Structure 1
Amino acid sequence: MTISLTDYIGAFSQNENLAAVAGIGRGIEREALRILPEGKLSEHGHYQQLGAALTHDQITTDYSETLLEFITPVSHSPEQAIAQLQDIQKYTFDNINGELLWPMSMPCFVDDAAKIQLAQFGSSNIGRMKTAYRQGLKNRYGSMMQVISGIHFNFSFSEDFWKINKTLHDDAKQQTIEVKPLSLDDFISERYFSILRNYTRFCWLIPYLYGSSPAICGSFLQGKENKLPFKKSPTGALYLEHATSLRMSDLGYTSKEQASLKICYNNLNDYVDGVQQAIKLKSTQFADIGIKVDGKYQQLNDNVLQIENELYAPIRPKRVAKPGEKPSAALRDRGVEYIEVRALDVNPFSDTGITVEQIYFLDIFLNYCAFIENGDLDCKAQGIHKSNMNEVVLRGRDPTLLLSDRDNEGQVNLKSIRTWGNELFNEMKQVADLLDKAYGTTKYNEAIVREQAKINDSSLTPSAQLISIIQENCLTEYALDKAKVYQQGAKVRDYQFYTQEYFEQSVPISHQAQADIEASDVLNFDDFLKDYFS
């Protein structure tokens, strides 16, 4: 027996189940380039007063030394998640010597990619491994990949939500055939993978609604050839007329070497097996780089993936790993804990790169993905979903664009974004009603109205707004003006969740934690890597 969207809504709408619906956990990881007031990339190393990038809980670096990453803990309120991020940014602004945070995904003017310094994490084995991994990324994909920014949105349901969900499924199975019920942990992992499959089918919505990188500074190409039909704005920016997210295109974080990987979201074990096989799969292209050349690591290995983090996907299953534990081992041993949405550009119209209104919609969308039944993904279906994504990032606002929707019976239908989008929003309206009831608000229905308007009028999307802006304004000057406004806003805003004292106390704690890790190493780096990959 298949459980329908209506069945889910009916079950969770019962008063005794509403608290479980309202138990959503959310976390934000926001990447942001440090830039100088004149709009150039900062060449200053990670500031000591921000804490140790290796061990600080809220402030670290991503691929390059100048690419900050802010991490909020799990919270159960969209407003609280944004407030935490604003506090982290406020402290950061006060401790980076007048530098600004670039408010866009694609980087500012970079005159020489060779000046982009890899992120440094100290002298410990794990710290050196992090930098060596980034050296590998540089050699594989180029330095400019190290200065692209994005937003990762971490999402989880409450345990009570899953218990109610499991009861529905156990009851449905007993009506058809006698089967042994899954343990709760196994059921949770199974259902998270169902969400991942639905997300990959519908994820073109994310760059369409929130893609904010239809244009780039000409310096980003650094003479690199490309086949994209760029136009040049009157002020010199390169753009694609109907693009939504060049960050998610071949210009950004995609890998042709990974295109041949057959990693599907059908179940936990197959997914982990696929990732682990990719880490062992040799790449003839990357072998040409070498591994350790003249005594310096050029990459961790010459496999398709150096480590699991190199798998570029719009969404990932996640489990907090123990110190020294591989992410895939954590997943296999203890199951999926949350999911990480990775297809979000930095929103240049928001000081935090993501708005509370976006979070409300993501709540709806991910709940919807949890309430729609599906079957396994074969390679053909996965290819169709990927093709839809590629089409939307490059020409999502093209009124002639048709996407391929492959239903659970394998039938492929061609649909415009307006047709398919309205179909989805009309169903998601039921989820919004449920969430409004659970949270005692109207913000979820407001989110549906706001985002559905973009489906019917592409000029309302942020990518369209940016294309319009750069026809009369310099892209760099516009972004720089935004960066200065956001800096000033942060400086005059009071702390809302944290305190200045909290951050000041966290800094020496993080530096001491890094020193303790460095002092505890007993293996040389070569042996450490052998042990890690064994």
Structure 2
Amino acid sequence: MLHIEDDTIKKLLLKGKFGFELESHRITMDGHLAHTAHPFPGDPHISRDFSEDQIEINTSPYDTAEEAIDAMEGYMAQVQEALCRKDRQECLWPFSNPPYIKNERDIRIAQYYGEERENTTYREFLSDRYGRYLMTYSGIHVNYSFADELLARNAEIDGVPYDRAYKDRFYVDLAEKAAAYGWVLVALMAASPVMDSSFFQQGVYDGTDFCGMASPRCSELGYWNQFSPMFDYTDLDAYVDKIQSYVDEEMLVAARELYYPIRIKPAGKYSLEALREQGVDHIEFRMYDLHPFSPLGLNLRDVKFAQLFLVWLASFRIERMSGGMQVQAVQNFKNAAHYDLDAAKVTVPGCICENEICGMPKRFSGSVRETAICILESMRAFFGEFSIEVRDNVEYQMDKMTDESKRYAVQVRREYGEGFVRRGLSLAQKRQRQLLQKASREAEGKERG
């Protein structure tokens, strides 16, 4: 737990690193999935997710969210420029839910060759186990790490050395808290309530379906494992051992098949071996929907809120989650993805701090909306003496829960509730033009400079 009463800790609370991963389908100019080969083979920042057409852009870690978004914009412009140069022009689909899908064969598995052939084999396994339709959802992963200076000072106050074990313990504790409370990010960032009828009815296009979810990919309609995972939050070795046991028991073919909204990860490529050997570098939130009202699909305030949320979580203790509470935590994530936040319920553990710094009660249940408001009220008090920007961000999120018209899912349903793909295609083409025009102006400015 962070000692936020300490002046040095207070100064370092918002010092950390951001990194983003953004998935988006390459589509033809008539709204279908592209069947062309991935245009950036070998580029570590522009890769593929499940399908050959599903671009995944990932940034390096940066000291600020603004810097990470600037890097994302550069990669995005690079992608859009390449798609414009194709013989048959393509663009990037701006929603988490897919455009037209002809049938399962229309979703072409990403093709790897030679030493990387295993990546295709793994995707073929996923296709057999889950079906390809579920793999067409796209989203954003927000990665964040706390500054080493912050954790070192915290260890000093605790009277222990700051070493890898201390850092690992911090992130394992944080992962448990994020599992208990992270569903609130689903409720706040959900932006995909409608989808084309071809997702549910093969060959039926241009019908816009509303299935009662604000974010189908995060709901029971999304890709979850066929069991409710249990984690051992005792320490990093226990955490890794538990996940490895699912692989050993063939419940998972590999650790990366564990579909959970939160991961603690090492630097570089993710694997359990790297996590155990190198330790934790950062925590990852995997539940953000693409934001269709932001030019890049990323909203600055939303990704910066992830930092505020993690700082708040790191500053209090919760009761240790039992197996039953962990099962409930998975259900909380699914329930928070519902469109009707008053009908969907959650149950969360409460604070066990002596100073009750978070303002949260003991374990309690309620609707998604009222429980999210309770959390945001706690964050409002917690950040009450911080900058106007920080306080405004919390209020921005609170508005989504207290004013239905401010929720992204409501706005998307209102604007794209009819002709989802046709209207989405217009948005995709508009974004492409705007991004390339901006990149061109900036390039001209550099030449003149």
TM-score by length of 2: 0.89
The aligned counterpart of 2:280 is: 336
Match of 1:376 among 320, 330, 345: 320
**In 1, distance between residues paired with 2:11 and 2:74?**
28
The aligned counterpart of 2:242 is: 274
The aligned counterpart of 2:398 is: 452
SS in 2 for 1:403: strand
CA offset at residue 411 of structure 1? 5.8
1:32 aligns to 2:24 (yes or no)? yes
CA offset at residue 321 of structure 1? 4.7
The aligned counterpart of 2:185 is: 206
Cα–Cα, structure 1 residues 341 and 435, in superposed 2: closer, same or farther, change >3 Å? farther
Opposite residue 342 of structure 2, the aligned amino acid is P
After TM superposition, list the pairs within 5 Å mapping 1:53-92 onto structure 2: 55-92=42-79
The aligned counterpart of 1:240 is: 211
TM-score by length of 1: 0.76
Asked if structure 2 preserves the Cα contact closer than 8 Å seen for 1:80 and 1:497, the reply is no
1:164 aligns to 2:107 (yes or no)? no
Cα–Cα, structure 1 residues 122 and 349, in superposed 2: closer, same or farther, change >3 Å? same
The aligned counterpart of 1:482 is: 427
The aligned counterpart of 1:218 is: 197
* Relative contact order, higher structure (CA 8 A, sep 6+): 1
SS in 2 for 1:399: coil
SS in 2 for 1:154: strand
After superposition, the C-alpha distances for 1:170-214 in whole angstroms (9 at most, x for unaligned) are 3xxxxxxxxxx4652111111111111111111121111111122
CA offset at residue 271 of structure 1? 1.4
Higher Rg = 1
Cα–Cα, structure 1 residues 36 and 94, in superposed 2: closer, same or farther, change >3 Å? same
Opposite residue 388 of structure 1, the aligned amino acid is N
**In 1, distance between residues paired with 2:428 and 2:411?**
18
CA offset at residue 401 of structure 1? 3.5
Opposite residue 70 of structure 1, the aligned amino acid is I
1:494 aligns to 2:435 (yes or no)? no
Match of 2:372 among 404, 421, 426: 421
CA offset at residue 361 of structure 1? 1.2
1:9 aligns to 2:4 (yes or no)? yes
Cα–Cα, structure 1 residues 379 and 79, in superposed 2: closer, same or farther, change >3 Å? same
Asked if structure 2 preserves the Cα contact closer than 8 Å seen for 1:197 and 1:266, the reply is no
Asked if structure 1 preserves the Cα contact closer than 8 Å seen for 2:155 and 2:162, the reply is no
CA offset at residue 371 of structure 1? 0.9
Asked if structure 2 preserves the Cα contact closer than 8 Å seen for 1:40 and 1:108, the reply is yes
The aligned counterpart of 1:117 is: 108
SS in 1 for 2:286: strand
Match of 1:93 among 80, 91, 112: 80
Asked if structure 1 preserves the Cα contact closer than 8 Å seen for 2:255 and 2:271, the reply is yes
CA offset at residue 414 of structure 1? 2.2
**In 1, distance between residues paired with 2:441 and 2:281?**
28
**In 1, distance between residues paired with 2:68 and 2:11?**
19
SS in 2 for 1:448: helix
The aligned counterpart of 2:357 is: none
CA offset at residue 222 of structure 1? 4.5
Asked if structure 2 preserves the Cα contact closer than 8 Å seen for 1:314 and 1:341, the reply is yes
CA offset at residue 479 of structure 1? 1.2
The aligned counterpart of 1:468 is: 414
Opposite residue 137 of structure 2, the aligned amino acid is I
CA offset at residue 398 of structure 1? 3.7
Asked if structure 2 preserves the Cα contact closer than 8 Å seen for 1:9 and 1:434, the reply is no
The aligned counterpart of 1:136 is: 125
Opposite residue 376 of structure 2, the aligned amino acid is F
**In 2, distance between residues paired with 1:430 and 1:253?**
36
1:191 aligns to 2:170 (yes or no)? yes
After superposition, the C-alpha distances for 1:78-129 in whole angstroms (9 at most, x for unaligned) are 11111111110101111122311000111100112213221122212xx111
**In 2, distance between residues paired with 1:65 and 1:418?**
38
Cα–Cα, structure 1 residues 81 and 319, in superposed 2: closer, same or farther, change >3 Å? same
SS in 1 for 2:37: coil
CA offset at residue 376 of structure 1? 2.7
Root mean square deviation of aligned Cα: 2.7
Match of 1:148 among 119, 124, 137: 137
**In 2, distance between residues paired with 1:426 and 1:237?**
36
SS in 2 for 1:493: helix
After superposition, the C-alpha distances for 1:19-45 in whole angstroms (9 at most, x for unaligned) are 533421000000010001111111111
**In 1, distance between residues paired with 2:34 and 2:9?**
51
After TM superposition, list the pairs within 5 Å mapping 1:330-369 onto structure 2: 330-369=274-313
Opposite residue 267 of structure 1, the aligned amino acid is D
Asked if structure 1 preserves the Cα contact closer than 8 Å seen for 2:347 and 2:364, the reply is yes
After superposition, the C-alpha distances for 1:118-159 in whole angstroms (9 at most, x for unaligned) are 1122212xx111110011011111112332211111100111
CA offset at residue 165 of structure 1? 1.7
CA offset at residue 253 of structure 1? 1.6
**In 2, distance between residues paired with 1:129 and 1:56?**
18
Opposite residue 144 of structure 2, the aligned amino acid is F
Cα–Cα, structure 1 residues 168 and 373, in superposed 2: closer, same or farther, change >3 Å? farther
Cα–Cα, structure 1 residues 239 and 268, in superposed 2: closer, same or farther, change >3 Å? same
**In 2, distance between residues paired with 1:404 and 1:278?**
26
Asked if structure 2 preserves the Cα contact closer than 8 Å seen for 1:185 and 1:335, the reply is yes
Opposite residue 153 of structure 2, the aligned amino acid is I
Cα–Cα, structure 1 residues 221 and 418, in superposed 2: closer, same or farther, change >3 Å? closer
The aligned counterpart of 1:315 is: 262
Opposite residue 5 of structure 2, the aligned amino acid is G
**In 2, distance between residues paired with 1:371 and 1:106?**
35
**In 2, distance between residues paired with 1:169 and 1:460?**
42
Asked if structure 1 preserves the Cα contact closer than 8 Å seen for 2:319 and 2:351, the reply is yes
Opposite residue 193 of structure 2, the aligned amino acid is P
Please identify, of 358-367 and 369-378, the stretch whose mean Cα deviation from structure 2 is larger: 369-378
CA offset at residue 430 of structure 1? 4.6
Cα–Cα, structure 1 residues 24 and 430, in superposed 2: closer, same or farther, change >3 Å? farther
Cα–Cα, structure 1 residues 498 and 201, in superposed 2: closer, same or farther, change >3 Å? farther
Asked if structure 1 preserves the Cα contact closer than 8 Å seen for 2:103 and 2:202, the reply is no
Cα–Cα, structure 1 residues 321 and 26, in superposed 2: closer, same or farther, change >3 Å? closer
**In 2, distance between residues paired with 1:451 and 1:496?**
34
SS in 2 for 1:9: coil
The aligned counterpart of 1:296 is: none
SS in 2 for 1:394: coil
Please identify, of 415-424 and 136-145, the stretch whose mean Cα deviation from structure 2 is larger: 415-424
| Structure 2 residue ranges without an equivalent (≥5) | 353-360
